[in-house]
Amino acid sequence: IWTKESQKIDSEQFLGWIRDECGRSDYIYFRNTFSVFKVLETKVCKTVSYLLSLSFVYSVFVVFGLRMRHTDSHAIKEDLHKLYL
């Protein structure tokens, strides 16, 4: 087999060269795709964690607010009860 540079190489070298070339391009393609997926994954993870933290803070505020309101109304009822008795 003759290459463009008119070097005679045997079939084993030729197959290795083809494997190297194809493997390299596949590797670059897969690496680029993987990096794109990694970027997407990190963005999605950040967004999801942000939303989760927001919902957690919101639920804590809601629960805390309900508990405060409940205790306030309970205390007000007790005070009124004491006043009228």
> Domain for residue 31, yes or no?
yes
Q: Is residue 17 part of a domain?
A: yes
Query: Does 29 reside within a domain?
Result: yes
Flag whether 4 is in a domain. Answer: no
- Residue range 56-81: average pLDDT? 73
Assigned domain for 22 exists: yes
- pTM for the complete prediction? 0.34
CB 9 within 8 A of CB 1: yes
The string of pLDDT tens digits covering residues 2-55 is 555 555 666 667 667 766 666 566 656 666 666 777 777 777 778 888 888 888
Residue 36 lies in a domain: yes
H or E stretch covering 14:
helix 11-84
The count of structural domains within the chain is: 1
Range of the domain at 77: 11-84
Whether 2 is covered by a domain: the verdict is: no
Question: How many other β-carbons are positioned within 10 Å of the β-carbon of residue 13?
Answer: 13
The mean pLDDT of 57-77, rounded to a whole number, is 73
